[in-house]
Structure formats: structure tokens, C-alpha cells
Amino acid sequence: MISVLIALWFNLNILIMKTIKLAMLVVIAIGMTKCSSDVENDIQQNTTITQEDISPEILSKLQRMGFDTDKTSVASAKGGYIVDGDIFITEETLKETNFQKQAFYTIVDCNRAGNIRIQNALGNNAAGRGFQRGIDLWNRVNRTTLRLIPVNNNPDILVRLSNPGEIGGWGLGEFPSNGVEGGLIILNLNEPSIDGDPVTAREWGNILAHEIGHNIGFLHAEQGFFGTQIPGTPNVDPNSIMTSGSNPNVVFNANDVSNFDKRAIRRMYSNRNNRLCN
């Protein structure tokens, strides 16, 4: 069983995004070098393909970009698609649109999610004082069966401080695996707040809520290209508690999880027929 750790907040996170974007830029650059001389020919050769040949996935992505694909022609072309007659959209651009969706990576079994034992091993400090806020932000959401129960022993999720040099940034969460929530959350007291002051208890609560989000399956709101979009959530949610550390003021200043975070968690964990958990 492989535990997938998600590296959060700044250092690793930004490094990963930079690597992905760099890799894509390289691909785009190589593609342009190889194809720039014959792009026009390729486009003309392939415009006979009708919209029926375009996969539903591509059509859905174009819809998310704002095209009315019921009324707009879409033709396949080398390296991308021609939309509305003369707009060439590369496959890379379509992949980029996936960078903005609220999504989960994997999910916790319904029964487990209703009783997740979580232990505060942070000690007497601002992070420890923020613990209750962190779990309350999720427990306060109504019409979901997700429940985080504070315990003093045998936790499902242990929340502890980082050892010296263990992590960069404010925190680390762990994705679920095989229907079991991620078992560890680490918070780093040595990381200053976005204004340079020590992180307050309230801010630690927000950060913990964010990390708990990972342990129950959420990706970053901007990183949905890894996972599955949660039905009923938008491609962009600027207020999501799952906003990545590259835009930390959203989490630091949050009064609550966002309305779409609530919608997402209700869809993931509930007693309704359309729930996503098993």
C-alpha cells in the first residue's frame, strides 16, 4: 500500500507546478519547432472531420472554456482543434483549462468518513489552540455525514508538529489510500505568516482545515488535472479553503470553507444516492 503524500504550500508545491509547466513549455516548444512549417497544411487536411468525431471529453472542455459546442463547429487538427471555423486551440491549452477545477484525488469510505478520530498532538502553542477551529470548519457543514471526532489516543489522523527541517511551508497533509483517510498531518511552527508575524491560532485553524481537506481526498482547487471534478462545483473557486499555497492569503483570511467546498463535501460524503463515497 502506497501512501501518497501531498506536499503543500510553497516550496514543493511551487516546484512541482513549475516542473509541470516547464515540461509543458518544452513540449510546446518542441512541437512548434517541428510543426511550424506544416501547420497550415495539417489544419486544412483535417478539417473534413466532423464534430461527431470529437470526444465528449474534449467537447466538455471546450464548453468550460465558454464555447457553445451545440452551435459551434469543432474539427480535429494536428496538435489541437479548430473551433468555430478559424480558432486553433492546442491540446496543451485544453490541458491548461483542467488546471482550474475543484477536484478530489481519491475518497474515504462512507462509513469511515462518518467517524474520523483525530488527535491534537500539537502541544500548547498557537497551532494547538487552532486545532478546534480546524475541525469545526468541516464539522459545521450541514447535510454531510463527514464527522471529525477529537480523541486522545488511537487516532485515525494524528496532527503533530514538524521535526526540524522535516517540511518546508506551513503544513503537510496525506491523501487517502484504499478508502482510508490519510493518517498524518504535520504543521510547521517555524514558518512565519504571510505578513511576517507568527501564524495566529485562527490562521492555524484555517491551515489545519486545508490539510484535513487533503486527508479526506481534496486536491488543491487549482490542481484538478490530477483528479476527478466534483459534480456541481465550478472550474474556478477563488474562495476555496483548498486553494494552494501559491495564493496563501485565501486560506489565511478565510472566515469559513467556501460555499463550493460545502457543496463538494456534501457530494462526497452524505446519505444521498448520488454520493461519491462507497
Residues that bind Zn ion (CB under 5 A): 8
Amino acid identity of residue 67, one-letter, is F
Q: How far is it, in rounded angstroms, from Cα 115 to Cα 150?
A: 10
Question: What is the rounded CA–CA span in Å between residue 138 and residue 236?
Answer: 21
Pairing of strands 116-121, 171-174: unpaired
Alpha-carbon gap, residue 273 to 139, rounded angstroms: 21
CB of 214 to Zn ion, least distance (A): 6
d(CA 140, CA 259) in angstroms, rounded, equals 12
In the bound state with Zn ion, the residue whose beta carbon lies nearer, of 8 and 148, is: 8
Q: Pick between residue 5 and residue 151 the one whose CB is nearest to Zn ion.
A: 5
For Zn ion, which is the closer residue by CB, 14 or 28?
A: 14
Q: Residue type at 37?
A: S
Q: Shortest distance, CB of residue 232 to Zn ion, whole angstroms? A: 22
Residue at shortest CB range from Zn ion: 8
Cβ proximity to Zn ion, 16 vs 32, nearer residue: 16
Q: How far is the CB of 225 from Zn ion (least distance, A)?
A: 15
Q: Rounded to an integer, what distance in angstroms lies between the CA atom of residue 117 and that of residue 132? A: 13
Smallest gap from Cβ 78 to Zn ion, in A, equals 37
